[in-house]
Amino acid sequence: MTDGARTATRPGPAPRQAATHCPYCALQCGMTLRETDGRVEVLPRQFPTNRGGLCQKGWTAAELLDHPDRLTTPLLRDRPGGELRPASWDEALDRIVTGIRTVQAGHGRDAVAVFGGGGLTNEKAYALGRFARVTLRTRLIDYNGRWCMSSAAAAGTRAFGIDRGLPFPLTDLGHADTLLLVGANPAETMPPLMRHLADQRRRGGRLIVVDPRVTATARQADLHLQPLPGTDLAVANALLHIALTEGLLDRDYVAARTTGFDEVRRTVAGCLPAEVERLSGVPVADLEATARALATADRAIILTARGAEQHAKGVDTVTAFINLALALGLPGRPGSGYGCLTGQGNGQGGREHGQKADQLPGYRRIDDPVARAHVAGVWGVPVDELPGPGVPAYELLDSLGTPEGPKALLVLGSNPVVSAPRAARVESRLRALDLLVVADFLRSETAELADVVLPVAQWAEEDGTMTNLEGRVLRRRALREPPPGVRTDLAVLADLTARLDASAHPSDPRSADPRAVFEELRRASAGGPADYAGVTWDRIDTDTGVFWPCPVVDGPDTPRLFVDSFPTPDGRARFRPVTHRPAAEPVDAAHPLHFTTGRVLAHYQSGAQTRRVDALRRAAPGGFVELHPDLAARLGVADGDEVRVVSRRGELRAPARLTPTIRPDTVFAPFHWPGAARANSVTNDAVDPVSGMPEFKICAVRVERAEP
Ligand SMILES: Nc1nc2c(c(=O)[nH]1)N[C@H]1C(S)=C(S)[C@@H](COP(=O)(O)OP(=O)(O)OC[C@H]3O[C@@H](n4cnc5c(=O)[nH]c(N)nc54)[C@H](O)[C@@H]3O)O[C@H]1N2
Ligand SMILES: Nc1nc2c(c(=O)[nH]1)N[C@H]1C(S)=C(S)[C@@H](COP(=O)(O)OP(=O)(O)OC[C@H]3O[C@@H](n4cnc5c(=O)[nH]c(N)nc54)[C@H](O)[C@@H]3O)O[C@H]1N2
Ligand code: SF4
Ligand SMILES: [Mo]
């Protein structure tokens, strides 16, 4: 967290500065960018989430602004297998328009698909959804948020009637008497958040961490449960079983504020802690201590993140923790609750405004006739021209270039060649397209496969709004203009719309002005679950942001949800019985180990950005495989030896890192690298039946020493 300010250089005029937020994760740490003689410096800025802290990625974020790898001209591939060559914008846009017209004429509207990202601003996410539905009139749009928090989102909506990652401000964490973190490693994934946890422990609060590895976060915990990957659901049910049998439930709350408890009671009655100990490896005594610590606390908070969620049963796993929280009376109680730690910079806002396959702006459902009528009205199109729901991300990528699937794809803000499950298959599907268009500011591994690459602006070169992990809408502010030859994502969508669609709409899909797009987003979201109607640009500009829902201009916003009721038809939260089921791919003699994946501090996601930053590359130069020394001894592997991790889908090769902090039956690799070390060559593409979330966090593998 202390690396000194990094700088980037470009000859420029007067010194200037912008109070903005980090381009990377959902904590959206406040930072000030200062440009002097073309050099951009990052300074930490006080904001409620980071409280003046930044991690190494934030400190070094400006280095990419003037990076030699920065794209400043469109690139075009003239024939399959040929090289990408520089082209003019006119040439590139014409090629895209011709390609889209050709495949749609031959195969229908849905022959073109769109893939977005949770790092896009609210305005871009909104404009992208509108571009797909109104300009392209395709139903096929989805985005990388499907890889991220979709299971927590689905479980939250099912139980509470709404999905806002944290239904309370992050500062509540510092006041919790008991805090349970399930499958979250914020010491590496959101380092400044640890300031809140330090507060919590200073006040005498207890931190309990559930993770198959002794992570930097787990090391700070009072109690660490180290389950076998994929057994969190059983752990949650056992905790509820203990609370039930020890009479620790909040009966008044359950009676007054919830429905459906009886069936859950019957289900968890059969979930015996001793059996869960055998399944998960978590001792009964630790389960009991956890249940008691949660139940006896005045203020108790349960948080899940990707470790619990990225499973083919992720929705039910989150549901099990929500059941526990409800039975203990936590949601809506001051200082207590359940939440999910959303991941990407705009992971929250990006899932609200229509880049999701089944969604319209304001977190409305695309199959809801009232929602369709409202949004069609804002967009000025006949309601029956709005397409219906599309398909979730993996299904979409897996269908590309097949006889029934899309023939053209536009990607904005994702690098699926590295980050998608079963990535080799996804790569071959991308290669099967007639037209792949990628808008990026770098030649990501996905851009390398594109027929057309469009160079777009970076975060410090554009205005906009983001919604952080608390549901707080905040302002991204431009420091400077994009370099010559570079356009903003909004300008790209407006340019394409102007070329593709001759008709005029009352809504102005040709506007590239973020503020104008935000004004339209406000109207489109009005009355929906994620209501931004009262969130004005001026208000977020002068304040520390506004928590949605905020339906009325100058009216109150909503830092805390569920205080008096839940946004369900009867105002009550809904229990739902769930039972453990095994991972999609069981271990067997040929693949006897569990493989799980995650992150390291220095790199962000597919690494397209952070692998190009010197300090971050030095801090974490390449992929690795964590192995327990006992396992390594059995396999004859020494620290640093190159190993192969082999699943039924493929393999990765990387040096072994021996550490007693991982279970001996489990191996771990981070997913930030392409090529031989790509973790997603190995991962399973089984998905959750409700959310479409892939099972990134468990599959069956064997590990071998690689012959040099
Ligand atoms: N440095 C860094 N920070 C980031 C990002 C990044 O790429 N790099 N990405 C951002 C984004 S988009 C996200 S979504 C967040 C993710 O933030 P986290 O969810 O904290 O990150 P992960 O490392 O994916 O997973 C967390 C932990 O889950 C554990 N785990 C694996 N399998 C299981 C299991 O079956 N059960 C349990 N209980 N735990 C398990 C792993 O050991 C890991 O320590 O981070 C955000 N911040
Ligand atoms: N094995 C395994 N795989 C995983 C995960 C895991 O835990 N394990 N986690 C999953 C999760 S939670 C996530 S969120 C995904 C993320 O994985 P990706 O979707 O690949 O996300 P990024 O690497 O952030 O890719 C963003 C790309 O868009 C570009 N970009 C950034 N901002 C913008 C913008 O504003 N406009 C445009 N046009 N481009 C932009 C960047 O340069 C980069 O090339 O990975 C998932 N994959
Ligand atoms: S914690 Fe997240 S938002 Fe904060 S500086 Fe690091 S990457 Fe940026
Ligand atoms: Mo994510």
The pLDDT of residue 2 is above 50: no
φ and ψ at residue 30, rounded to 5 degrees: -70, 135
612 in a domain, yes or no? yes
Residue 343 beta carbon below 6 angstroms from any ligand 3 atom = no
pLDDT of residue 708: 72
* Confidence grade of residue 272 (pLDDT, cut at 50, 70, 90): very high
Answer yes or no: are the C-beta atoms of 166 and 468 closer than 8 Å: no
312 in a domain, yes or no? yes
Question: Using a 6 Å CB cutoff, which residues line ligand 2?
Answer: 117-120, 144, 147-148, 306, 310, 343-344, 412-416, 418-419, 439-442, 444, 456, 489, 597-598, 605-606, 608-609, 671, 679-680, 683, 696
The pLDDT of residue 396 is above 80: yes
User: How many whole angstroms separate alpha carbon 665 and alpha carbon 77?
Assistant: 46
554 in a domain, yes or no? no
Tokens of 120: 């896009």
Q: Count of domains in the chain?
A: 4
Judgement on whether residues 331 and 259 belong to the same structural domain of the protein:
yes
pLDDT of residue 534: 97
Residue 186 beta carbon below 6 angstroms from any ligand 3 atom = no
The region, left, alpha or beta by phi > 0 then psi within -120 to 50, assigned to residue 386 is beta
Averaged confidence pLDDT in the chain: 96
Judgement on whether residues 373 and 495 belong to the same structural domain of the protein:
yes
Express each pLDDT in 500-533 by its tens digit. Answer: 986 656 567 678 999 999 999 999 999 999 999 9
Cis peptide, bond prior to residue 549, ω within 30 of zero = yes
Judgement on whether residues 42 and 130 belong to the same structural domain of the protein:
no
Q: Is the pTM of this model over 0.95?
A: yes
The CA 301 to ligand 3 mean position distance, Å, reads 22
Tell me the mean pLDDT in the region 570-584. Answer: 98
Judgement on whether residues 333 and 394 belong to the same structural domain of the protein:
no
Tokens of 545: 């942001």
12 in a domain, yes or no? yes
Burial of 4 (0-12, 13-18, 19+ CB in 10 A): exposed
Judgement on whether residues 410 and 371 belong to the same structural domain of the protein:
yes
The ligand 1 atom nearest the CA atom of 306: 19
User: How many whole angstroms separate alpha carbon 569 and alpha carbon 560?
Assistant: 19
The pLDDT of residue 74 is above 50: yes
Express each pLDDT in 33-73 by its tens digit. Answer: 999 999 999 999 999 999 999 999 999 999 999 999 999 99
User: How many whole angstroms separate alpha carbon 116 and alpha carbon 155?
Assistant: 22
Answer yes or no: are the C-beta atoms of 65 and 460 closer than 8 Å: yes
Judgement on whether residues 248 and 138 belong to the same structural domain of the protein:
no
pLDDT of residue 6: 45
Express each pLDDT in 135-187 by its tens digit. Answer: 999 999 999 999 999 999 999 999 999 999 999 999 999 999 999 999 999 99
Judgement on whether residues 25 and 136 belong to the same structural domain of the protein:
no
Tell me the mean pLDDT in the region 283-302. Answer: 98
CATH number at residue 55: 2.20.25.90
pLDDT of residue 513: 95
CATH number at residue 231: 3.40.228.10
Judgement on whether residues 59 and 100 belong to the same structural domain of the protein:
no
User: How many whole angstroms separate alpha carbon 426 and alpha carbon 607?
Assistant: 18
Answer yes or no: are the C-beta atoms of 345 and 466 closer than 8 Å: yes
Tokens of 427: 């790569």
Closest residue by CA, ligand 2 atom 18 = 414
Torsion of CA 441, 444, 450, 454, to 10 degrees: 0
Specify the range with the lowest mean pLDDT, choosing from 146-160, 268-282, 305-319, 492-506: 492-506
Burial readout 267-297 (b: 16 or more C-beta within 10 A, e: otherwise): bbeebebeebbebbbbebebbbbbbbbbbeb
Spatial CA neighbour of 549 closest among 578, 527, 572 = 527
Judgement on whether residues 154 and 132 belong to the same structural domain of the protein:
no
Judgement on whether residues 394 and 407 belong to the same structural domain of the protein:
yes
The CA 28 to ligand 3 mean position distance, Å, reads 6
pLDDT of residue 504: 56
Q: Which ligand is nearest to the CA of 652?
A: 2
The CA 344 to ligand 4 mean position distance, Å, reads 5
Tell me the mean pLDDT in the region 199-211. Answer: 97
Q: State the amino acid at position 223 in one-letter form.
A: L
Express each pLDDT in 15-27 by its tens digit. Answer: 799 999 999 999 9
CA atoms within 13 Å, Cβ hemisphere of 327:
34
pLDDT of residue 362: 97
586 in a domain, yes or no? no
The CA 414 to ligand 1 mean position distance, Å, reads 18
* Confidence grade of residue 707 (pLDDT, cut at 50, 70, 90): confident
Write out the residue range of the structural domain in which residue 616 sits: 593-705
Judgement on whether residues 370 and 491 belong to the same structural domain of the protein:
yes
Q: Which ligand is nearest to the CA of 226?
A: 1
The pLDDT of residue 12 is above 80: no
CATH number at residue 632: 2.40.40.20
118 in a domain, yes or no? yes
Burial readout 483-492 (b: 16 or more C-beta within 10 A, e: otherwise): beebbbbbbb
User: How many whole angstroms separate alpha carbon 98 and alpha carbon 128?
Assistant: 19
Answer yes or no: are the C-beta atoms of 555 and 535 closer than 8 Å: no
Residue 191 beta carbon below 6 angstroms from any ligand 3 atom = yes
* Confidence grade of residue 598 (pLDDT, cut at 50, 70, 90): very high
524 in a domain, yes or no? no
CA angle (485, 486, 492) in 5-degree steps:
120
CATH number at residue 482: 3.40.50.740
Q: State the amino acid at position 504 in one-letter form.
A: A
The CA 605 to ligand 2 mean position distance, Å, reads 5
Question: Using a 6 Å CB cutoff, which residues line ligand 1?
Answer: 25, 148, 182-186, 188-190, 210-213, 215, 229-230, 232, 305-308, 343-344, 596, 598-599, 601, 603-605, 697-698
Q: Which ligand is nearest to the CA of 25?
A: 3
The pLDDT of residue 433 is above 90: yes
Burial of 231 (0-12, 13-18, 19+ CB in 10 A): buried
User: How many whole angstroms separate alpha carbon 128 and alpha carbon 132?
Assistant: 6
Tokens of 677: 């070390």
| Domain boundary residue, one of 64, 84, 108 | 64
Q: Which ligand is nearest to the CA of 190?
A: 3
Answer yes or no: are the C-beta atoms of 390 and 396 closer than 8 Å: yes
* Confidence grade of residue 1 (pLDDT, cut at 50, 70, 90): very low
Answer yes or no: are the C-beta atoms of 655 and 581 closer than 8 Å: no
Judgement on whether residues 79 and 181 belong to the same structural domain of the protein:
no
Burial of 661 (0-12, 13-18, 19+ CB in 10 A): middle
pLDDT of residue 506: 55
pLDDT of residue 653: 98
Express each pLDDT in 455-508 by its tens digit. Answer: 999 999 999 999 999 999 999 999 999 999 999 999 999 999 999 986 656 567
520 in a domain, yes or no? no
The pLDDT of residue 14 is above 70: no
Answer yes or no: are the C-beta atoms of 114 and 408 closer than 8 Å: no
DSSP, residue by residue, 65-127: TT-TT---S-EEESSTT--EEE--HHHHHHHHHHHHHHHHHHH-GGGEEEEE-TTS-HHHHHH
Q: State the amino acid at position 244 in one-letter form.
A: L
**Helix, strand, coil distribution of the chain in percent, nearest 5:** 35, 20, 45
The pLDDT of residue 675 is above 80: yes
